[in-house]
Structure 1
Amino acid sequence: MRRVVSGFLAAMCAVVSTAALAQGKPPLKLGGILDMSGLYADITGPGAETAAKMAAEDFGGEVLGRRIEILAADHLNKADLSANIARDMLDNQGVEMIYDVAASATALAASEIARARNKIIMFNGPGSIRLSNEACGPYTVHYVFDTYSQANVTGLAAVKQGLDSWFFITADYAFGHDLEKDTANVVQKAGGKVLGDVRHPLNSSDFSSYLLQAQASKAKVIGLANAGGDTINTIKQAAEFGIMKGGQKISPLLVFITDIDSVGLETAQGLLLSEAFYWDLNDESRAFAKRFMQRVGRVPGAAQAGVYSSVTHYLKAVKAAGTTDAAAVMKIMKETPINDMFAKNGRIREDGRMVHDMYLFEVKKPSESKGRWDDYRLLATIPGNEAFQPLSESRCPLVKK
């Protein structure tokens, strides 16, 4: 009995000591800069904040005796506001790492602030290839996808199927420009042609004039170099115009499961798309999705799953390094393979690109779906070294050639 009591008291002392230690040190703050209310809110937004909190909770809620605190702020899709939030988080709130930063223009702005302060910033929602090229930094990680991988997977698959003439409807900012450029390069290298393009303002509601130009081009494929609400509205209005019934294919170059759910299988069926993650891929992804759904009410998209994975990878590196020093933590992050519900044998290269498998999916017909969120049929798994830009083509000054 004495041994039992002594063991119990020792365990209680350890718990109290850990708690006291955590209380005696400042919390480890991780800050998300998200679109909480705009056209990308379903892609990242509150779901990304929840994913970060789930990662912190699953890690035990503390690291190095410091309680993990997850912060989030809404950048309203404004680059200057994103920069100001990043500056305030790092200078005034004591944030050690910034996660997500949905949208490319806002990510590029926040990246400059983090780089000037030698702080780690991990991108999950933005897609611009510039983040691991011209705008790369020693403490920058581009985790989920980029315009090169999206173009390489979707564009190449389409041309191989004989869909070799393209017209682009493009969001008029960094991400849209990069996605159109990268896809056009893939199409042309594969022997296809680009017949034209048109650009629209971010968060548009009326795509009729753009769709009419695309329809008049008689291109086999209308590539949508936009995302979120813009992609949803373009697809819906294209269906209203009878564009798909007229024989032209709509190819959303960046689309998420929440977008397909909003559009509906009746309209979206047959679309070819590239994703970094799908909730129904395997037992691990399904288990995570079940827990996520209990808290958010819908399955996780790729960016949200990437937030969980990247925050977990960061916390593991902090624990292994014994410090939050960016150089020490980043060294371990780049040395350690990533194996979890998001990626298998993922790795962070010297340019900050996290390389992992990508997936080519076809959207199911309504008759093939077993229920809500059962939207994709897996067509191909593309290894990371084939999907992402090779280092030989990198424009990142950190890459030695």
Structure 2
Amino acid sequence: MLSRQSAIFTIGGLLTIAAGRLFGLIELFIMGTALVTCVAVALLIVTTQRPRIEIGRSITPTEPEVGQTIQVGLSLLTSSRVPACDVYESLAGGSHVHIALAPLPAGQVARANYQIIAQQRGPLTLGPSLVEVGDPLGLSRRSKRLGSATNITIFPRSVAIDLPDPNTCQGELIDAIRRVIRYQPTSSEFQAIREYTSGDDPRRINWRASAKREDLVVNEYATEIKIDTHVALNSNQNAYSAEGFERAVSVATSFVRSIERQGDDLAPSLGVWCGGQSFHCSSDNESLEALKHLAKISANDNQTPLSIQREPSSIKVDIIITGKAQTSWVESAWKQLGSARIVVVVLCDETATSVALPPHWYVLPCRQLEQFAEDWKQLCIQTTVQSHEHIF
């Protein structure tokens, strides 16, 4: 491609040649010929220069969230001698990153890095890149595409919270789960004794040990009862403001991320219903599928909760996330999920004081993610490392 400067050289050269012929001045003729020759040589240089470069990208972190800084590393492997050239990495919104390469022999690797801020959740395309070579005078340039684009997913923002697990956590929600477990019929075997606390089943008092200690103690049992936690995200558009829906998606993402943080084979599994789809998250790979769905979910109308099949012998815990307290939708979701005895409702566009829900349900507002994380710690916070025994 000829530059504007090459057009000036060409027109100026032709005019100079014509003036030299007109006035019989050999100097003008030579000068004009030199200008036109410069353009021809520039075209020859950029035509014969064919840099062969293989480009690779590394992304850190590998699962970026909204608001995080993404470090992109570029590796440029030369398959032939490469003259001084410019590499342009295309970014979203029509912008690009410019990298100036010095001359390199074949078989060399040049590395460059740049940073971008993840602005919104969803797919993000990096590249493709272009390599551009030119002549020393800037009269002509030629560009060539390098490799293909890299598609990454920007995940919703999350905060650190813990899934309710009576083996490792403490808090009001955990106390409620333990009260249900104490009266839950199950096949158990003796595990240990502990001090009596209010709400313990009197049938579990160990009278012989209590007499020796002069204080009430109860038997604890290893049990196979499972905690079946399910998160339901209301995606009805009329339930949210724009900011409220993003907070709701972030809350749901935070619960899914908790699977990775607790990271033990015996950690509780998590069911997630959102946007007309359901996910069972008990491993990082399963959690990743739910996270990808949350990254692209949008608020729609008339999203009816799905009927979910759950283990009848488990302790059901429902976490229902919505914007405004649409009582009918919340109750419908609760019934479709199996009418759990323990329910937490998260309101992302309303305060808890204005909600008409059953009094034994837990209601948490979420006007800021960080404050929600602090409020959640009152209900559930991990205090011990997951062991390989279920002890209640």
Q: TM-score range by the shorter chain?
A: under 0.3
Richer in helix (by share): 1
Report which structure shows greater RCO (CA 8 Å, sep ≥6). 1
- Bigger strand share: 2
**TM-score when scaled to structure 2?**
0.27
